Structure 1
C-alpha cells in the first residue's frame, strides 16, 4: 500500500511538472491599429480591440505580453513566421488574408464599414475655372469643331465651282469660309454674307439646319452645367458615389485592407505610414480622398474637430474584425467561445459603445 501511494504521488508530481511550463509560458501578442480600437497613452494601451482581448485572455487564464506591430500587414507576417502568437487590433477578415496558409482568424468580434474621408475646402478661383475644362465641355467643343469642319468642307466642295466668290477654290480659305457659314447657320445669327446657290449646297445646308438644333441643345446643356458649377463654387470633380473614386488619387494607410480595396477598384493609391499622415495628404490636396475604417475616421474627427474634412455619406464595404493566429493554434476554439460569450451577453457591444460614444 505505501508503495502504491508513493507511485501515485510521483505520477501526480510528474503531471504537475509537465503542465507548469505551459501555464508559465507567455503568449506573444502583437498589437496594431488606430483609435478607437487601439489607443496608446504612454505605456498604457486601451481601445475596443484591447478590451475585448483582455476579456478573452481572462476567460482562458492566459499570460501574455503585448508587442507593438508597425502595420496590420507586418503583424500578420509575424504570426505567419511564428514571431508572435496572436495579432490583436482592427484586422479585417478578407478573402486575400484567409488565403494565406500560415494564418487563421478567430470568430469576428466587431462589425464595421470602410469609410471615405473627403476634403472640405472653399474652392479657389482656379478650381472654379477647372469646370470649363472638364471632359463634358471639352468633348462637346471637340465634337462641334469636328462637325463644323465636315459641314464646312462639304459646302465648300459643293459651291467652289459656281460660287467661288463666297467660297474660294483654294482649300484653306474655301474650307474656312464653309466653316464660317456653318457656324453662322448653327447660331442662327444669319449675317447673309455667304449663301449657297447650288442644289447640292442648299441640300447640305438644309440638313445642317436640322442637325444644328440638336448640336446647339447639347452644347448649351454642357455650358449651362459648367456655369452652374462655376457660380455655385462647386467643382465638377466632387465625389458623391463610390464609382467616382475610380482613377482618383486615394490615400491609404500602408498595410491596411484599404490597399486591397483601392487596387481592386482601380484607384491611384497614395500610401501613408499612418492615419494622421493620410489625413494630411487630403488636406494638402495631394490625395482626393482617404479610405479607412469609418469608426476610426469619426473618432479622429471627434479628436480634431477643426479639420477641413468630412466623412462621405456612403461606404465602400462591410468589414469584420477578428484576431489573427496560426491555423494549428490550440487557442482558436477557446478564444472563439470567449468572443461569442461576450457578444451574447452584450459585453462586446458595451465595450464598443464606451469608446465610440
Structure 2
C-alpha cells in the first residue's frame, strides 16, 4: 500500500488535532533547522541541489495500533503517523508511505537501500544496530504478556467448603446440636411435653431446633426450658455457642476467601512462570528472544491477530508483544476474556530506522528531541493510548 504525501497535505489530517500547540513547536523546529544550515550542514536535504531536494523519500511504515491505525478511508493514523507528519512538515520533505507488514523484511529493505527510512515502533537492539541505524527514541515501551482471563471452574470455587477442616467443623457442630437436642428432650419431655414431646424424633428434633436458635442468637421463643436441668443445659450451651459461633464464622470467612480468590495452580504470575509454557510471538519481533530467554516454547505467527487467535484456540498459553499495543487491543475489545500480566519482560526504546550515513539522521534526531522537549511526543502518545482520538 502506497500513500503519497506532500507538504500541503499535512493539515488535512492534523488541523483538528492540537494545531495551536504544535504550531509553537514547529516554529521552534524551523529555527533549529535554520541553525543547522548556518553551521554548514551540507548534507541536510534542505541544502541539496534543487533536483535532489525535490526527491520523494521512500518511507516504509509499519506497526500495530495504537502506533499505526488504518482509518475507515484508508489513511494512516496513530502515534507514528502523527509524529512523522509533523517532522516531515517541518523539514519540508515529500514522501511516499509504503506499508510494511513484516518486521524483518522491512529492516532488510532499509539495509539494502530500498527504503530511505522506516517509521514505526521498532525496538532499538544491539543485534539490529549491526545492520541499520536508529534515530533518537520517540517512545519507551516494554514487552508484556497477554493471557486468558480464566475463571476457576465451579468445583474450584466450592472445593474449599469440602476440605477436611470445613467438613470437620460442620460435623462437630451437628454433633453438638444433636447432643444438646437429646439432653433437652430427656430433661424436659415429662415436665414440658407441649414443646418437647415424648416421641423421640419429634422431641429431639425440637431440642435441636432450640439449640440451633440459641446458637444463632435468633431467639424465636417458641421453645424454652422449664426445668432447672433444662435451664442448666441451655446456659452451658449458650456459653459454648459464643466460642462455636466465632469459630464457625472464622472458618466460613476463610472458605469464602479461598473460593473467591483461588487461582489455577498453573497461573502465570511472574516471568519465571513462563518456563515450559507455549508463548505465541510475532515473527521478527524481540518477543522471540525473550520467550526463548525465559525458556518458553516459542510459537511464531506472522501478525499479532494471528498470535492472539492461536491463544484463543488454546494452542498457546499467552502472547508476548509490546505492552502498549496489547493494552490498546484490549481497550478496543473490552468483551474479550483476556488480560495483560502485571509484569513487563523488559524495557525497550522505540525509534525510526534508517541506513548508516543517511543525510536524514541529524534532522530526524533534532526534530524528535525538539518534539520531546515541547511535550508533543507525550501528548500524542497519551491521546492515542487513552483513546481520545477517533478514526476519521
Sort the TM-score into its range (normalised by shorter chain). 0.5 to 0.7
State the match for 1:243 in structure 2. Answer: 272
Quote the Cα distance in structure 1 between the aligned partners of 2:262 and 2:313: 19
Q: Which of 77, 80, 83 matches 2:114? A: 83
State whether residues 283 and 308 of structure 1, in contact with CA within 8 Å, keep that contact through their aligned partners in structure 2: no
Alpha-carbon distance change, 30 to 118 in structure 1, aligned in 2, over 3 angstroms: same
State the match for 2:334 in structure 1. Answer: 305
SS in 2 for 1:240: coil
State the match for 2:124 in structure 1. Answer: 93
- RMSD between aligned residues: 2.5
Quote the Cα distance in structure 2 between the aligned partners of 1:49 and 1:231: 42
Quote the Cα distance in structure 1 between the aligned partners of 2:60 and 2:297: 30
Aligned-pair distance for 1:346?
A: 0.5
Gaps of 5+ in 1: 1-15, 129-227
Deviations 1:184-237 (A, max 9, x none): xxxxxxxxxxxxxxxxxxxxxxxxxxxxxxxxxxxxxxxxxxxx9999763221
Matched, 1:45 2:80: no
Matched, 1:30 2:43: no
State the match for 2:358 in structure 1. Answer: 329
SS in 2 for 1:317: coil
Q: Which of 333, 339, 343 matches 2:372? A: 343
State the match for 1:61 in structure 2. Answer: 92
Quote the Cα distance in structure 2 between the aligned partners of 1:111 and 1:346: 15
Quote the Cα distance in structure 1 between the aligned partners of 2:356 and 2:369: 19
State whether residues 271 and 294 of structure 2, in contact with CA within 8 Å, keep that contact through their aligned partners in structure 1: no
Is 115-124 or 246-255 further displaced after alignment? 115-124
Quote the Cα distance in structure 2 between the aligned partners of 1:80 and 1:43: 28
Aligned-pair distance for 1:29?
A: 0.5
Q: Which of 267, 274, 280 matches 2:303? A: 274
Deviations 1:79-98 (A, max 9, x none): 01111111111100012111
TM-score, structure 2 length as denominator? Answer: 0.58
State whether residues 35 and 300 of structure 1, in contact with CA within 8 Å, keep that contact through their aligned partners in structure 2: yes
State the match for 1:10 in structure 2. Answer: none
Q: How many residues align?
A: 241
State whether residues 229 and 235 of structure 1, in contact with CA within 8 Å, keep that contact through their aligned partners in structure 2: no
Gaps of 5+ in 2: 1-45, 158-256, 387-392
Instruction: Give the alignment of 1:100-249 within 5 angstroms.
Output: 100=131, 103-123=132-152, 234-249=263-278
Detail structure 1 runs of 4+ shifted over 3 Å in the superposition. Answer: 122-128, 228-234
TM-score, structure 1 length as denominator? Answer: 0.63
State the match for 1:184 in structure 2. Answer: none
Deviations 1:325-356 (A, max 9, x none): 00110110110000000000111111111101
Alpha-carbon distance change, 263 to 318 in structure 1, aligned in 2, over 3 angstroms: same
